[in-house]
Amino acid sequence: MKRDATEPAPMVTVVARGRSSGGERRALSSGDRVGDYVVASLLGHGGSGAVYRVVAAAGGGPARALKVLHADLASSREAALRFEREVRAIARIRHPNVVAVHDVGELADGSPYFAMELLDGVDLRAHLAAEGRLSVDETLSILDPLADALSAAHAQAIVHRDIKPSNVFLADAGGGARRVVLLDFGVAKLLDESGPAITGSRQTVGTPTFMAPEQIRGLPTDQRTDVYALGALLHVLLTGETPFPATSALLPQLHLHARPPRPSARAPVDPAIDEVVLRALSKDPGRRQQSAAALLAELRSAAGRAALPAGAERPAVALHVEARADGAALDDAEPGLLDDLETIQPAALARLAERGFRAAVEAGHAALYVLDPGALPGGERAARRSAVEAARALLGALASRPARDPRVHVALCLHAAPARFAGGAPAGGPLLDVAAWLPEGLPAGLFATPALLEGLGIEAAPAGAVARLG
């Protein structure tokens, strides 16, 4: 038996193969059954567990990544609580730039696991190793969604406490676009948690290279602790080097007492950016930017890449998804047909969120999802191409959905136009005026407006004011 990751109940037992004759669990192998999944391969090992690629035992659906706590840690109260806290933290946030958890459970030996989305791409550590220091524009393209993810976590009273390149993943979102994803909430602090403490009040958790002074001292932490780590990460992105040497035996003392070097002393960085980084790395939390969003805003201002003023519009992309049933079928609809209709939008939201879309308008069995090109590298054209790929993938997934009723049809239509955003969410503009660009009575299939297709070189068959995509 398993449970949904959002439920607060304790983890429950799931019978799984993968035990030796002596009763000790061996590493899972290809073909082993874990709950609703079958192990396909080992993806890697971490300090607390192993991660496997798994597929649905019943067939169909996307592959997942399954993280299993190491067997020798399963009996540790602290390790088990940290593992479960990671699941609860991720489930509370539910943000497109935070890795998504789908379900949790336990192996027969008591080792907990959780299944999360399987990401294709590289982590930021590997990207930096290949590229060296990054440009200001690329740094902003990474820091923008990362700060948004942290803001969402902080809004849920969650402090990550382990921001570092290996915990930031650059996932392939198709069409040359990428999705920045924050990983590993294993040492996250839930500020509103009333349960038993996992560590002693003076115990240090985190990664020393990016650790704030209050973390090193074992003092209380809050969102400004993550701001410090963001400052250290920003230093790495702009210079290719950590503020203090990671191999130094004096690393904790350097974080506690030494003044960090100016980025402009190590790389061709505008001196105006120095103050932003050094402020984030202040020893006193009260002297830092008080939020991830504030740090991002200061960086944009110093770099001359100011965010658009409130109320300003910028190019964006929308995907309208509508599910409907044959008219006669609704006259005396049975539960199966209605259930099928109800599955369309949740499935669309889950898949499109992985591509960076946000739900903007919902009405009955229709919804509008918006993609902000400003959150993706490559600009507006790359975002339009990525949206076409996402829509095609969604249409294919919906066509093969379980218990599909042939009387239920899905119509999708893509459009590009200016939109206004507030707090990263679509809030108005021509793009959200759906009646102005969506043809009435659109048949089932995938369609796009000329504004969306302009300059992409994608073949499409004219269908009135829009074009059908093959």
Six-digit token pair at 99? 């890795």
Give the number of domains in the chain. Answer: 3
CATH number at 453 reads 3.30.70.1230
Q: In tens digits, what is the pLDDT along the chain, a chain of 470 residues?
A: 343 343 332 222 232 333 333 344 557 889 999 988 999 999 887 667 789 999 988 877 789 999 888 766 666 667 777 777 777 777 788 788 888 888 888 888 778 888 888 888 999 999 999 988 998 888 998 999 999 989 988 888 889 888 999 999 998 877 677 889 998 876 666 664 544 443 443 444 568 899 999 999 999 889 999 999 999 999 999 999 999 988 888 899 999 999 999 999 898 888 889 999 999 999 999 999 999 999 999 998 888 865 656 567 889 999 999 998 887 766 666 777 888 888 898 899 989 988 888 888 877 789 999 998 865 666 788 889 999 999 999 999 999 988 888 888 999 999 999 988 765 667 788 998 898 999 988 999 999 999 999 999 999 999 999 999 97
Statement to judge: residues 338 and 292 lie in one domain: no
Statement to judge: residues 140 and 199 lie in one domain: yes
Which of 250, 284, 303 finishes a domain? 303
Distances (CA, A) of 94 to 88, 153, 156, 279, 340: 11, 9, 10, 30, 24
In this prediction, residue 450 carries a pLDDT of 96
Q: Please give the angle made by the CA atoms of 397, 402 and 408, to the nearest 5 degrees.
A: 80
Statement to judge: residues 282 and 326 lie in one domain: no
Closest CA to 261 of 305, 284, 231, 302: 231
Spatial neighbors of 75 by CB under 8 A, at least 6 apart, are 110
Contact between residue 451 and residue 431 where contact means Cβ atoms under 8 Å apart: no
Contact between residue 328 and residue 309 where contact means Cβ atoms under 8 Å apart: no
This prediction has a pTM of 0.61
Amino acid at 212: A
C-alpha 466/C-alpha 438 separation (Å) is: 8
Closest CA to 205 of 183, 230, 187: 187
Catalytic residue among 144, 148, 162, 184: 162
Spatial neighbors of 183 by CB under 8 A, at least 6 apart, are 99, 123, 167, 168, 169
Asked about 372 being catalytic, the answer comes back as no
Q: Is 366 within a domain?
A: yes
Statement to judge: residues 361 and 455 lie in one domain: yes
Statement to judge: residues 86 and 132 lie in one domain: no
Statement to judge: residues 296 and 151 lie in one domain: yes
C-alpha 287/C-alpha 295 separation (Å) is: 12
Contact between residue 365 and residue 322 where contact means Cβ atoms under 8 Å apart: yes
Statement to judge: residues 69 and 129 lie in one domain: no
Statement to judge: residues 341 and 295 lie in one domain: no
In this prediction, residue 268 carries a pLDDT of 86
Six-digit token pair at 181? 């994803």
In this prediction, residue 197 carries a pLDDT of 43
Q: Is 308 within a domain?
A: no
* DSSP output for 103-171: EEEE-TTS-EEEEEEPP-EEEHHHHHHHH-S--HHHHHHHHHHHHHHHHHHHHTTEE-----GGGEEEE
In this prediction, residue 378 carries a pLDDT of 66
Q: Is 419 within a domain?
A: yes
Which of 117, 147, 162 finishes a domain? 117
CATH number at 242 reads 1.10.510.10
Distances (CA, A) of 138 to 180, 327, 469: 12, 50, 32
Q: Is 130 within a domain?
A: yes
* DSSP output for 437-465: HSPTTPPSEEEE-HHHHTTT---EEEETT
Statement to judge: residues 140 and 171 lie in one domain: yes
Alpha helices in 306-334 (DSSP H): 327-331
Statement to judge: residues 448 and 407 lie in one domain: yes
Statement to judge: residues 450 and 357 lie in one domain: yes
Statement to judge: residues 173 and 222 lie in one domain: yes
| Residue 113 lies in domain | 3-117
C-alpha 273/C-alpha 278 separation (Å) is: 9
Task: Find the Cα–Cα–Cα–Cα dihedral 441, 444, 450, 452, rounded to 10°.
Answer: 120
